Structure 1
Amino acid sequence: MSVALSASLLILVTIVLLLLMGIPIAITLIIASVLAITQSLGFSAAFPSTALKMFQGINVFTLLAIPFFILAGNIMNKGGIAIRLINLATALTGRIPGSLAHTNIVANMLFGSVSGSGTAAVSAMGTIMSPIQKEKNYDEDFSAAINIATAPTGLLIPPSTALITYALVSGGTSVAALFLGGILPGILWGVSCMLVAYFYTKKKGYVDKKSITSKEFMKATLDAIPSLLLIIIIIGGIIGGIFTATESAAIAVVYSLVLSTVFYKTINFKELYSILIESAKLSAIIMFLIGASSILGWVMSFTGIPSMMADMILGISDNPILILLAINILLLFVGTFMDLTPAILIFTPILLPVCLALGMTPLHFGIMLTFNLCIGMITPPVGNILFAGIKVADRKLERVMPQLLKFYAAILIVLILVTYIPWISSFLPSLAGY
């Protein structure tokens, strides 16, 4: 048995057994990696080597962007941003049949992109929109499904910590290019759900069209502009070469802090302290997970697992369409039981070489990978956005799932387009010179 095959089997069996035992994913990855590398290096060299690789994995300047964006997102989540973006979404969609459903979708896209968190979006929008939709006699399960199905759009529309993580693991794919590349797929995700909502609400008679005066539209737009400027500042600054992605994250913190404490006056010192503690805890969890995954990535590279997996997958068929279909099915399955960040960290080094052999660019693969895994966040049994949305709406999984199925179908159609039409991911980056 080859070193790569024996190491991959040992890693797979160890990870499955430890996860079934309820061991945290980061600890699981470290144990699996150490056991696998001892076959080649022995115990005496395995432990210091893995400790060094873990430190090197998080000792990267680019990773500073993650805690900064987490902090900025938490500040915005509690800083009165959500209601202003909902008002703007209402002004944009108020004349469409079933306008409350469309308001929820557009607001999720706006707030998710500003906060960089799908969980924050589903919680904030659900808290505000669910009572309003209930008052207008919307089916509560359908309302919950709308909110859940569109919350992940903010993980594709920048700024996105998921894309920053992929940029690091993929060996230096441009963060700016990934940010631009995620915009159209994220918008298409939202638009596909809007089409589903339009036909459903029209069939059910939810014609709650609201006439928006030009004065109301202008007020909603002006109120939301300071929040939306964050996206423009981040993307414009990175593309213009004014600052790096990491520096943009620090600017996002300062901007959101000034916006919430001085401009909107919605956060006081006591609340800021709790936000800092919460952000520090979440950042520590993610950084520890990245460190653990960096060990696994090094072990796989050392033992030749990615090359072996690439040869196996490419040996199944010489048809790129079928291979990409198989990769999508694999990622959709992985996303149902594994969170976004560890899945990116584990499967990028395995699948990226395969996709590069098919002629796919690292940018295109990164968007396809993230899109797939975002679907997993709204899919049982693990999907954290799914369960957060159900909790906020106070509904039951078995009642919301039938309503979600129609949205799954629309989102999967967009996934197929993103997979087989590279232009969707590459148009804006190429337009900006990436």
Structure 2
Amino acid sequence: MNFTSPFSLALAAIVGLSLFGVPVGQAMIGGSVLYLYLKGMDMGAAAEQLLNGTYNSFLLLAIPLFILAATFMSSGTVLDRLLRFCNAIVGRFPGGLAQVNVLQSIVFASMSGSALADAAGSGKLMQSMMTRGGKYPPAFAAALSAVSSVIGPVLPPSIPLVLYALVSGTSIGYLFIAGVVPGLLLGAVQMALIYFQAKRRGFPIEEKVPLADMPRITREAFPALMLPVILLGCLYTGITTPTEAAGLAAAYALFISVVLYRSLGWRDIYDSLMTSARLSISIGMLIAGALVFNFVITAENIPASVSGMLKGIDMSPLGFLLVVNLILLLLGCFLEGSTIILVILPVLLPTATALGVDPVHFGVMAVLNIMIGLVTPPYGLLLFMMSKIADVSLSELVREVMPYLLVMIGALAAVTLLPDVVLYLPRLAGYAG
């Protein structure tokens, strides 16, 4: 590799700007502009790629709308009602509150689609509840909040899967339904491990909720629980496009929060809009930077070079998927998930297509892998976030995370080796892959 080539210098600029604290999206735009300058190309190509990529994709509108729906659902009393429902279902089992922590991540998947947002919101609340009264060690509670937060972005509506649909052209509807079984599998292996740890370490069982209270608790949580059902129903019956479904989800979340639960006032709505705008802008800048940098990658013919190199090794589809898993797990230790999806996966997709790997299977496997990377030492972002939130040392947190990391990698292996785990539900919905 020529370290003085325009591409190498552009990469160095991106890394250098990022180390100096420049957001990754802006750093990628800066490095790409440097590349265009050094190559003597039209500098306006950066703006052209940015505008064409953003204005020609209506799917991008789904991201701020899903974020808005999540913000409305996270405000007011919706969170409390859903937590009571989760506690009524699994609180009576060994490690009751720990089981609730995992179940709430599954239930709250429709409220965020972002692992970092789940950890900072409901994950932080659960960590506080678990350590109250010395029920659970702080490091264990923080580790569980981190690992359970990776479940939500695999289940619909998933912002990472929306981003993958953007770069791959795959149906977002089939991707959403394909994420259901892997997401539930991830939750199941975590809850099974909690059961055995609770028996061994003597974790408490929560007080059983009287059977007579179950109808009331379910009735209170039912409108919020219906959001993913309505969302998926509209997508798979063809009533709405993915972007229209996201708008419907935001409108429904606002309706139940204001009209049914009466938990949002005008000030809360304003705050929700501002929070959603800030999150959308940060993701939008990252997408913009990736679109420009992907133009540079294409100009350098990197996807074709990588594809040719891997073909030269005479690699089987399964061997390719195993190599991809290894690469993504390593990158997930250092890079933010959206960056990997927008920059790295487009390089690997041509090879996957050439080898006959199903794009829906590949996308769900990659997103699951990237989410696991968020809790993989030494630099998993969720580890640093929960270490700060819970005020526990990183070494203690890593020690508690390791058993969960092993069972999640086991779930990833099942998803990789058994494509039907991913493709069964999409095929029932009419997917021909």
Offset of 1:8 from its aligned partner? Answer: 5.0
2:150 to 149, 152, 164: 152
Does residue 306 in structure 1 map to residue 307 in structure 2? no
Q: Which amino acid aligns with 1:21?
A: F
Does residue 48 in structure 1 map to residue 53 in structure 2? no
Does residue 335 in structure 1 map to residue 332 in structure 2? yes
Relative distance call for 1:48 and 1:19 in structure 2 (3 A) is same
Q: Which amino acid aligns with 1:149?
A: V
Q: Which amino acid aligns with 2:148?
A: T
Query: Which residues of 2 match residues 321-400 of structure 1 at below 5 A?
Result: 321-380=318-377, 383-400=380-397
Structure-1 residue corresponding to 2:183: 186
Indicate conservation of the 8 Å contact 2:49/2:291, yes or no.
yes
Q: Which amino acid aligns with 1:276?
A: L
Offset of 1:310 from its aligned partner? Answer: 1.6
Distance 2:426 2:349 in 1: 19
Structure-1 residue corresponding to 2:18: 19
The CA deviation string for residues 14-71 of structure 1, in whole angstroms up to 9 with x for no partner, is 333333333321122112223334565x24x1x1111111111111211110111111
Structure-2 residue corresponding to 1:110: 107
Indicate conservation of the 8 Å contact 2:325/2:369, yes or no.
yes
Indicate conservation of the 8 Å contact 1:157/1:179, yes or no.
yes
Normalising to structure 1: TM-score of the pair? 0.92
Distance 2:210 2:68 in 1: 36
Indicate conservation of the 8 Å contact 1:138/1:206, yes or no.
yes
1:253 to 250, 272, 294: 250
The CA deviation string for residues 273-315 of structure 1, in whole angstroms up to 9 with x for no partner, is 1221121122112112211111111222233110101222333
Other structure's SS at 2:150 match: helix
Distance 2:422 2:297 in 1: 29
Structure-2 residue corresponding to 1:139: 137
Q: Which amino acid aligns with 2:201?
A: K
Structure-2 residue corresponding to 1:166: 164
Indicate conservation of the 8 Å contact 2:68/2:272, yes or no.
yes
Q: Which amino acid aligns with 1:81?
A: V
Identity value in percent: 36
Other structure's SS at 1:116 match: coil
Structure 1, unaligned runs of 5 or more:
none
Structure 2, unaligned runs of 5 or more:
none
Offset of 1:6 from its aligned partner? Answer: 5.3
Structure-1 residue corresponding to 2:236: 239
Indicate conservation of the 8 Å contact 1:149/1:404, yes or no.
yes
Other structure's SS at 1:337 match: coil
Structure-2 residue corresponding to 1:100: 97
Other structure's SS at 1:208 match: coil
Normalising to structure 2: TM-score of the pair? 0.93
Q: Which amino acid aligns with 2:28?
A: L
Indicate the larger mover: 318-327 or 73-82: 318-327
Indicate conservation of the 8 Å contact 1:126/1:393, yes or no.
no
Distance 2:70 2:391 in 1: 24
Distance 2:392 2:407 in 1: 23
Structure-1 residue corresponding to 2:430: 433
Structure-1 residue corresponding to 2:412: 415
The CA deviation string for residues 153-197 of structure 1, in whole angstroms up to 9 with x for no partner, is 110100111111110111x20000010011111111111111111
Indicate conservation of the 8 Å contact 1:57/1:290, yes or no.
no
Distance 1:48 1:159 in 2: 35
Distance 2:37 2:321 in 1: 34
Distance 2:117 2:20 in 1: 29
Indicate the larger mover: 81-90 or 373-382: 373-382
Indicate conservation of the 8 Å contact 2:69/2:250, yes or no.
yes
The CA deviation string for residues 84-112 of structure 1, in whole angstroms up to 9 with x for no partner, is 22112112213321111111110111113
Offset of 1:209 from its aligned partner? Answer: 5.1
Q: Which amino acid aligns with 1:327?
A: V
Relative distance call for 1:79 and 1:317 in structure 2 (3 A) is farther
Relative distance call for 1:251 and 1:271 in structure 2 (3 A) is same
Offset of 1:7 from its aligned partner? Answer: 5.9
The CA deviation string for residues 237-265 of structure 1, in whole angstroms up to 9 with x for no partner, is 01001101100111111111111122112
Indicate conservation of the 8 Å contact 2:70/2:110, yes or no.
no
Distance 1:142 1:234 in 2: 34
Query: Which residues of 2 match residues 255-334 of structure 1 at below 5 A?
Result: 255-334=252-331
Other structure's SS at 2:151 match: helix
1:65 to 62, 66, 77: 62
Offset of 1:76 from its aligned partner? Answer: 1.2
Offset of 1:136 from its aligned partner? Answer: 5.8
Other structure's SS at 1:148 match: helix
Other structure's SS at 2:392 match: coil
Indicate the larger mover: 201-210 or 283-292: 201-210
Indicate the larger mover: 176-185 or 256-265: 256-265
2:215 to 205, 214, 218: 218
Does residue 124 in structure 1 map to residue 110 in structure 2? no
Offset of 1:270 from its aligned partner? Answer: 1.2
Give the aligned CA root-mean-square deviation in angstroms: 2.1
Indicate conservation of the 8 Å contact 2:193/2:404, yes or no.
yes
Distance 2:295 2:336 in 1: 21
Distance 1:22 1:391 in 2: 19
Indicate the larger mover: 210-219 or 49-58: 210-219
Other structure's SS at 1:152 match: coil
Offset of 1:418 from its aligned partner? Answer: 1.1
